[in-house]
Structure 1
Amino acid sequence: MRETSVSLSGPSPEYDDEVVFWERFYERLAPFRDSLINIKKLAMESPLGDLYEFGARGINNTSDLFSRTAIRTAEISYSMILRSPGLIVAILILITALTVKPAMNFQDQINGDVEIYLPDGADSTELLLDVREAPWATDIFILYIQTNNAATGNERGDENITDVNILSQLSWLEGDDNNRLAGGYQDGLDTYKDDRGRNDGVIWILSPSQIIKEANSSSYRFNCAVEKYGLPTGPSDNCAISNSNPNEGYSIPDDQERVDTLVDQAGSLIESFVRDTNGDGVWDTGVIVMGLLFDMEETEIPRDNGLKDHKAFISYAEDLIYEKSGVNCELCLRTYVNPTSTMDEAYIDVIPARKAVTITGLTPVIHEVSDKIYKELVNVMLPISAVLVCLAMLILHRNPKVIIVGGLPIAMSLAITFGITVIFDIMLTPMIISAAPILVGLGVDYSLHLTNRIEENRVELIEEKLEKAWEANRDGLNSETINPWDPVISLTATVRAALTTGNAIMLSAMTTIIGFSVLTWTFLVPIQPMRTVGITLLIGIFVTFLLSMLMVPALVELLRYRKGKTQLFDKMWDRIGEVPVKGTIVVILAALVVTVLGVAMFSETMGQQIAAGRDEVPPNMASYEALVEYSTVFEGGQTNMFIINAEERGSVNGTAPIRDLPILDSIESLQILVDNVPETDTISLVNVLKAIHVDVNISGLEIYDQSLWEILHDECWDKSTDPFSPQCWAYTVSSKEDMVNIAFDTLSPEIRSMLMNEDTGFGETKTLVYANQPYINLYNATIYRNAIDDILEGEEECSGALRCTAINIDDTYNSLLTGGLPVSIDINDGVHKAQSLTTIWTMFILLIAMAFLFRSPRLAIFTMAAVGAVVLWQPLLMRFGGVGVNVFTAMIGTIVFGIGVDDSIHIVDRIKDEGETPAGIVKSVSKTGQTIFETTATTCAGLSAGLFVSIPGLQNFFVLMMVLLVLALLTSSILLPSIIVLQKEFTSRILGKGPWLDFEESGSLEKSSVMDAVIESNG
């Protein structure tokens, strides 16, 4: 530290005061120092000391054995490689070629489903699996419909969603009696109404047209059900003959007056699917909501890229709507040039032209976002990144051969890594985006560190030979011609590099593998996508290490690569190398101030809910814009649900368990409570029974002209034999239990598929209650979710997520809430918790690993302190850069952690090689720090291509990561050596040995003039 150096111009009073201050400071610590020395002395004189010395000798002997083995192995291995470098490169390229074809199908391994992010064992996970087992739908597909009444300017008309013409077009899209089994695309999207999605992938549909079809066909099914239960329905109802088609009349009536009547009877149910967005009294906007089967592999939909999945269904729907609809759906081919009344004026310039029928919903949006991000990265960022990386290498190394030497191993390691994921069918997610920068960063790091060290050793060997040649010439002796590619020089330079920098690379690879293995621990990381990132990193780091150690020396020899020199750049790093020893206090204090600020903001900034807004999706996405509008206009979008299970109750009143009227009444009461939660609207069997009206005539006498719900709750069931209630006498022809069964059989197979589980012979035992909510921030969403769960828990504590008693019926249970909202909340909580735990465990595991590998807990602690500082500085950058926590930034800490550890290990290992002296630290920083700068600059050059992608969230991700990588460079090259200097100075002073660091007086740091060893190679 400068305050301890001696001025040649003589002491000054100020300087004497400073010396006195530090002397008194260390004198006050003398008692504490003496106590520690005595404790250490006593410990070393005890049996514990003997055990320590025995262990130390054992470790040293083992280390010496490994060292001798490593030297011999390196000599043999690199001797073989340097004899036939071309053959080695060719063999490795051929091995890589075997994985290139599978790697090209890497995109097929990416699963875009939201629920795969659910933590293992979470209530939402258990509930979601139970919902799918029914099978019910958890994946929602929406068609957002807008008539010309929603348009503006000269395109505006007076079309109403409930016009017969519009409803007929929507019905054709869905599939009805008019196009049933017409074949191919003409069948509509839901060809089979009673297959629960097994054939066409659609379990159910809810829409204005479906509700009208349901009501239009209900009287026929009602009469058939009445006949089924033994009641006379009159000669006009030939149900026995027509029973082969249970959907009779499942189409839109031709009569507008009939449609209007059905609309009025449907009431609030149909109003959930239509809106008047401009206040002119015309319903101009509607939605068709479809529940999709989760596993579509056995369906009849055409394959897409060899797969039958949701993406294949979306592709099929796009073809049907926009290519094959023709005259059957004029709306499908309409696009409005002018903005519609629902568009957000603040974003009117970026919203694409609105189609009258727009595919949207969470499932299509997620798949489209995933595909577009992949295409942005592959088609835009990757080519630009390759060019910028090549330019960076060329500028820094001033030799075009470095592009092959450093770039080829990286490209091959990525191909092998991603090829392995395809070959072994490892499921990946968009979160894998975080693995590529780590592997590229480490690949650049390994290649350039090894390349530079080989070059540095070659220069030293050439200098030695030049010095001997100069002495020989001085003495009049003949000197040998110096060939920089002399086999002895090449082998010696390579072996020395492998035993020094190669050792650091191995330590780095081992450390990062051990650290990232934490991501694969199931008990610690319950989120599968994070575990697959961990698995990919373990494979990738090992492959990158192996290829770097084998290919870099072979390519250097094969291409006769020599690094170009610039005296200015080298002198600059010579000066930078002096910073840790000249400005120790300044560096430490600055780092402490920034770290304290980062800690103060850490919880607030990093604890934010994971956002997924407009900045996180590609621009001009019609599906996303329609989903945003749907959430605002319809106050929906997030489909949540809870289950009512009466399996244990069994049949009590002569009906299937879930058809029991007391259960339906309890569901209604539960719905009223849930509907009182803000932003929440429920739909259940109760709503459907209230919406379906029937009129029944028996022998010319009108008995019913009510909704099914009103019929079931008619007081005449209790007065059918009352002589004073003649209006109820007709009810004696049936029983209330039979009427319950009749009412349920009146519901179409589609509605039953949506709301009840499949009848396996004992009647339906479960039903779903849907709780729809708009997309709202997760803070408020969590409050609402907790409020709903409090209602669903009832007065007694739930014995499990599926066994709550709020339904208040014996042997009948309800579940907690599941679906879009709980899934989002649990994913958010799971990611935050897993990140916090993995960061803590990674630091702990790495600390132990480095303490063992360095054989120095002290250096391990210093290394982790430097790396941890960068992680703690991230909140500052996010706060002042206006960047929130999103699905991209959530993994930045892991990336920087991996690369930061690597950089710090290289510095520490070089300091160990050069010696923990002022001169050793300066040389380590000036040489290895320069290489770290080159690797950081190269990695940042590649990442800067991310600024060319069109997704603001991704741009912020890459900018933030580049800044953090630069900070990782500073902490490893400046802060870490400064910590070592501070510790050495403090230890020397407190032990009474005087100043350890007397930089300005010490001649140990003076540079001796050396002969320029850069000899241009003829190769």
Structure 2
Amino acid sequence: MGIGVDYGLHVANRIVEFREAGLSHFKSTSKAMLTTGKATLLCALTDTIGFSALFISPIAPMRTVGLTMIVGVICSFILTVSMTPAIMKLTNYPRHHPKSWTGIARVSSQQWRVILLVVLLVTGYSLARLSVMDQDIRGDESAPEDIASIRKLAEYSEKFEAGQTGILLVAGPPDRPKPAAKDLGVLDVMNWTTVELNNLTINNRNTDDTINVSAFSIVDFFKSAHISIEVGQGGDEEPFFVFDGSFWEFLHHEFFDSQACQIETGLFYTCEELRQDLIDVFYDSFTGEMRAMLLTDDYTKALIYVSMPYINIDDTALLVERTDSIAYYYNTLLFDAELSQLTGGPPVTIAINQGIQDTQYKTIALSLVLVLVTMVLIFRSFRFGFITFLPILIVVLWYPATVHTGGTNLNIFTAMVGTIIIGIGIDNSIQITERVREEGTRPEGIMKAVQYTGQSVVEATFTTMGGVLSGVIISFYRTQFIGLRNFFALIITLVLFSLLLAVFALPSFYQALHHYGDKFGSRRLKVKR
């Protein structure tokens, strides 16, 4: 909606300007379409090409946003060109010319050194905050605030130090005849891995609190089962073997290697077979649901569940890395079991976060390159194309400072802001440059471009900001939109920056080019009428 109104305002104001010069509505419309209409077409092209950079994203919602924006831009341009002149004819659309624009044009032309110095200082400050672009994704920021399950999840994470669950898959060596879950060697590896994971702790880099990892597997059920055994010859004689402890301890008891065990089992039944049968009987006591949660039906694979609280991505990544190191250690040095790397919630979250960060950089870079190439080709001038490109490049460079100052966290919405603002913000610079090309690059022409086109740029920008502001307002009343609040706020802020840079910095660039061109005797810019 904002872009569509922008296009309409630029065309309508230019038609009024020609009408005030004494031309008929038909001639005013024709001249407006050949001048501002051409600039609006360039805006639509650069917007479309800029938004197309989102197609390289591996995240489907971001590609959908890119396609939606492109369709919206095309429809807005077609409807603007076809309907604006007719609506103006019906409504006799007027235009007011505030005298303040003469002063603004004079400031942007005469104080260009101060303006460029301020731009340089702010850009340097923002580049010093570039590290904020590597911050972690915050899913909780995107979640509605009044959902009971979300609040309970946060409470659960705090009290039980859990909430993110990962899984290690354990299998037996291919040369073992026993299924993995019935092989005591495999179970031993699972036990050692689980014990080490339960001792894994780090300090939260934000709060310095201790973060603990918890893990459990089928072995924990072996340990929780208590048994008492007495083996003797009956009667009043003392039993020669007594055991009271967990089933896991009994499986590792020296009784199975003793002569007493061999005597009791006889010649046709070994102690190892006895131990294996005990494991089978123990598994038979499990319910089907319990076995399905921890084992495959054929007992060839088992799972180790690893839980950690909801914490920042950097600490989560560290815990995942250390968990994988433990699994790799037992997988490499011991040949009794094969362990996978950690999968599940934490690794997936890290992968999504990394994908969003990578996409953010790639889409912004690709969008900038495509927009620059498009403007150079259409203007048929590298100078005009590059100077027009500079304000939006500076807006992108100011993005880190905006994120840092606003305390905004990275999420799937804010990761698209850079590309979207390139598509929206470049329009202001294109309109100013096209008017400079008409009026000439001397100070008088630059002032006239700001005085007349600058007003349209401000009107168009504030309509865009007003449209986006509706999203911010709704987010305060509808928690379903809480995750979009920072997204809308960032767009409003950066659109405002693009306006200021188009009205003040862009004319300053042209003034500097003219000044130093005269001073050093370089070839001046020749403008095609």
> What TM-score does the superposition give when structure 2 sets the normalisation length?
0.85
Which range moves more in the overlay, 671-680 or 967-976?
671-680
Work out whether 1:860 is the aligned partner of 2:385: yes
> After superposition, where does 1:649-660 map in structure 2 within 5 Å?
649=174, 652-653=176-177, 655-660=178-183
User: Residue 735 of structure 1 is aligned with which of 274, 280, 290?
Assistant: 274
Does the C-alpha gap of structure 1 residues 892 and 992 become closer, same or farther in structure 2, counting only changes over 3 Å?
A: closer
Superimposed CA distance per residue, residues 446-466 of structure 1 (whole angstroms, 9 cap, x where no aligned partner): 222222223333333xx25xx
**How far apart are the structure 1 equivalents of 2:272 and 2:419?**
73
Matched with 2:36 is: 501
Deviations 1:272-324 (A, max 9, x none): xxxxxxxxxxxxxxxxxxxxxxxxxxxxxxxxxxxxxxxxxxxxxxxxxxxxx
1:489-528 equivalences under 5 Å are 489-521=24-56, 525-528=57-60
Tell me if structure 2 keeps the 8 A contact 1:914–1:923.
yes
CA distance, structure 2, for counterparts of residue 629 and residue 642 of structure 1: 26
Residue deviations 1:48-102 (CA, integer Å, cap 9, x gap): xxxxxxxxxxxxxxxxxxxxxxxxxxxxxxxxxxxxxxxxxxxxxxxxxxxxxxx
Shift of 1:723: 6.5
Q: How does 1:456-495 map to 2 (within 5 A)?
A: 456-460=17-21, 463-464=22-23, 489-495=24-30
Correspondence 1:775 to 2:307 = no
Tell me the residue number matched to 2:114.
Answer: 586
1:538 counterpart letter in structure 2: I
The Cα of 1:586 is off from its aligned counterpart by 1.3
Q: Any conservation in 2 of the 1:666–1:807 contact (CA below 8 Å)?
A: no
Q: Following TM superposition, by how much is the alpha carbon of 1:665 offset from its aligned partner in structure 2, in angstroms?
A: 0.8
C-alpha displacement at 1:629, in angstroms?
0.9
Letter of the structure 2 residue corresponding to residue 619 of structure 1: E
1:611 aligns to 2:150 (yes or no)? no
**Native 8 Å contact 2:262 2:271 kept in 1:** no
Q: For the residues of structure 2 that align with 1:534 and 1:917, how far apart are their CA atoms? A: 39
Q: Which residue of 1 aligns with 2:200?
A: 677
Matched, 1:764 2:299: yes
| Match status 1:689 vs 2:225 | no
- Does structure 1 conserve the Cα–Cα contact (< 8 Å) formed by 2:46 and 2:423? no
Aligned residue number for residue 204 of structure 2 = none
The 1:809/1:730 distance shift into structure 2, 3 A limit, reads closer
Deviation, structure 1 residue 638: 0.6
1:781-792 to structure 2, matched below 5 A, reads 781-792=316-327
What displacement does 1:541 show? 2.3
Cα distance 1:960–1:992, how it changes in 2: closer, same or farther (>3 A)?
Answer: closer
2:491 is matched with 961
Partners of 1:770 and 1:993 in 2: how far apart? 71
1:577 match: 105
Whole-angstrom CA distance in 2 between matches of 1:520 and 1:980: 34
Q: Which residue of 1 aligns with 2:454?
A: 929
Query: Which amino acid in the other structure matches residue 65 of structure 2?
Result: V
Q: Secondary structure at the match of 2:488?
A: helix
Residues 1:626 and 2:152 are matched in the alignment: yes
RMSD: 3.3
**Contact 1:441–1:899 under 8 Å retained in 2:** no
Question: 1: CA distance between counterparts of 2:253 and 2:522?
Answer: 99
Q: Deviations over 1:320-346 (max 9, x none)?
A: xxxxxxxxxxxxxxxxxxxxxxxxxxx
Residue 341 of structure 2 aligns to a residue whose secondary structure is coil
Which amino acid in 1 is paired with 2:329?
G
Instruction: Specify whether residues 915 and 993 from structure 1 end up closer, same or farther in structure 2 by C-alpha distance, changes over 3 A only.
Output: closer
CA distance in 2 between counterparts of 1:546 and 1:814 reads: 59
Change in CA separation of 1:454 and 1:506 when aligned onto 2, cut-off 3 Å: same
Say which SS state the counterpart of residue 640 (structure 1) adopts: strand
Distance 1:943 1:929, change over 3 A: same
* More helix by percentage: 2
Deviation at 1:677, TM superposition (A): 1.6
Deviation at 1:697, TM superposition (A): 12
Q: Identify if the C-alpha distance between structure 1 residues 908 and 809 changes in structure 2 by more than 3 Å, giving closer, same or farther.
A: same
Q: Secondary structure at the match of 1:578?
A: helix
Q: TM-score, normalised by structure 1?
A: 0.46
Q: Compute the displacement of 1:748 (Å).
A: 1.7
Call closer, same or farther: CA 1:607–1:726 in 2, change over 3 Å: closer
How many Å separate the matches in 2 of 1:839 and 1:723?
74
* Cα distance, 1:993–1:864 mapped onto 2, change above 3 Å: closer
Once the two structures are superposed, the pairs formed by residues 680-759 of structure 1 within 5 Å of their partners are 680-692=213-225, 707-719=246-258, 722=261, 735-757=274-296, 759=297
Report the equivalent of 2:184.
661
CA contact 1:690–1:710 (8 Å) conserved in 2:
yes
* TM-aligned CA distance change 1:725 to 1:905, over 3 Å: same
* 8 Å contact kept, 2:11–2:36: yes
The match for 1:949 among 468, 475, 481 is 475
- Structure 2 partner of 1:236: none
**1:924-972 Cα deviation digits (max 9, x unpaired):** 2222221111111112222333135336764444333322211110111
Match of 1:974 among 504, 510, 524: 504
Correspondence for 1:552 among 84, 93, 102: 84
Q: Distance in 2 between matches of 1:836 and 1:446?
A: 29
Shift of 1:635: 0.8
- Unpaired segments ≥5 residues, structure 1: 1-439, 465-488, 796-804, 997-1019
Q: Which amino acid aligns with 1:618?
A: P
- Post-superposition Cα deviations, 1:626-655, rounded to whole Å, max 9, x if no partner, equal 111100111111111122234x616x34x3
* 1:305-384 matches, cutoff 5 A: none
1:446–1:545: 8 Å Cα contact kept in structure 2?
yes
Query: Distance between the aligned counterparts of 2:30 and 2:299, measured in 1?
Result: 75
What residue number does 1:445 align with? 6
Q: Is the 8 A contact 1:947 1:958 kept in 2?
A: no
What percent identity do the matched residue pairs reach? 35
Q: Provide, for residues 522-547 of structure 1, a one-character-per-residue CA deviation record: whole Å limited to 9, x for no partner.
A: xxx33333233223323332233223
User: How much has 1:731 moved relative to structure 2?
Assistant: 8.1
**Per-residue deviation, 1:660:** 2.0
Aligned equivalents of 1:664, 1:920: Cα separation in 2:
83
Tell me the SS of whatever aligns to 1:610: coil
Aligned match of 1:985: 515
User: Structure 1: which amino acid aligns with 2:68?
Assistant: T
* Larger RCO (CA under 8 A, 6+ residues apart): 2
Paired AA for residue 920 in structure 1: G
1:546 and 1:718 map into 2 onto residues whose CA distance is 87
Deviation at 1:872, TM superposition (A): 1.8
8 Å contact 1:870–1:968 — kept in the other structure? yes
In structure 2, what residue type is equivalent to 1:608? Q
Counterpart in 2 of 1:538?
70
- Go from structure 1 to structure 2 and tell me whether the alpha carbon gap of 1:541 and 1:901 turns closer, same or farther (over 3 Å shift): same
1:549 to partner: Cα distance:
2.4
Please say if residues 639 and 820 of structure 1, whose CA atoms lie closer than 8 Å, have aligned partners that are also in contact: yes
Q: Equivalents in 2 of 1:807, 1:674: separation in Å?
A: 17
Instruction: Give matches, 1:146-157, under 5 Å.
Output: none
Listed as ranges, the matches of 1:132-531 within 5 Å are: 440-460=1-21, 463-464=22-23, 489-521=24-56, 525-531=57-63
**Which residue type is aligned with residue 16 of structure 2?**
E
1:716 Cα deviation from its structure 2 partner:
3.7
Whether 1:819 aligns to 2:344 is yes
